[in-house]
Amino acid sequence: MPRAPAAHTAKDASAALRALADPEVAAHAARYFKTGPGEYGEGDQFLGLRVPQVRAVARAHREMPLAEVRKLLASGYHEERLCAALILVTQFQRGDEKTRAAIYRAYVAGLKHLNNWDLVDTSAPHVVGGWLLSRDRSQLYKWARSRSLWKRRVAIMGTFAFIRQGDFADTLAIAEILLGDKHDLIHKAAGWMLREVGNMDRAVEEAFLRKHYQDMPRTMLRYAIEKFPEKRRQAYLKGRV
């Protein structure tokens, strides 16, 4: 009787990624993701792969056991963590309730490894937002008030799943919490999610903006009104709404 093929492991995926490593791409990525002293990605390491390459490896290893995905998520290399995040998203989307619960728990346990904006944005809307769609969302508010930049970004990005269902309340409430945030990456994420609300219902977004636009970080406002007609966009920017 033929043996069943061995399950994919973190080492398998790591070897596949490292076979595609490109030092020039790695050097560019290190600059792009701000890995210098004092920058938000300080100390992160890159193998040097482009995102489509990482996605291809993730697809090839999508059946990896969750314990192995967690090992990959703990890697010191950015692309290996991204690969793990992509696998978690695929397994969450294809999984039953028990599988999804386990993936959500693993995701939350591994939040410290989701430590750059692409890792969060790739995964939080699907895993966090997907799990909390029909559940208590109080955890998002705890993360929104966290000292961790990435937990705050998970909080707002996780609401993307709600927006797609026409449910805007948590996005607006968390964006309000983040109005005083000091980090540009939070301003961008909150503005992006407000724009997505507007894509679904412009009146809801504008009600929020009329209340807060004069106090919003400029970057958050610019992201939120990016798709507005030019005359309306300028009115917000010039404080003439």
pLDDT, tens only, 196-208? 999 999 999 999 9
Mean pLDDT of 35-64: 97
Nearest to 14 by CA among 55, 51, 50, 57: 57
Q: How far apart are the C-alpha atoms of 46 and 141, rounded to whole Å?
A: 32
HSE-up of residue 174 (Cα within 13 Å, Cβ side):
35
| Confidence bin at 7 (pLDDT 50/70/90) | low
Q: What percent of the chain clears pLDDT 90, i.e. is strictly above it?
A: 95
Count the Cβ atoms, other than its own, within 10 Å of residue 63: 12
| Confidence bin at 95 (pLDDT 50/70/90) | very high
Mean pLDDT of 37-55: 97
Mean pLDDT of 163-179: 98
Find the helix packing angle between 78-94 and 10-18, rounded to 10°. Answer: 130
177: left (phi over 0), alpha (psi -120 to 50) or beta: alpha
Q: What percent of the chain clears pLDDT 70, i.e. is strictly above it?
A: 97
| Confidence bin at 3 (pLDDT 50/70/90) | very low
Mean pLDDT of 105-132: 98
The pLDDT score that the predictor gives to residue 4 is 40
The pLDDT score that the predictor gives to residue 112 is 97
Does residue 2 have a pLDDT over 80? no
Mean per-residue pLDDT of the chain: 96
Full-model pTM: 0.94
Mean pLDDT of 142-148: 98
Rg (CA), the chain: 19
Does residue 1 have a pLDDT over 90? no
| Confidence bin at 8 (pLDDT 50/70/90) | confident
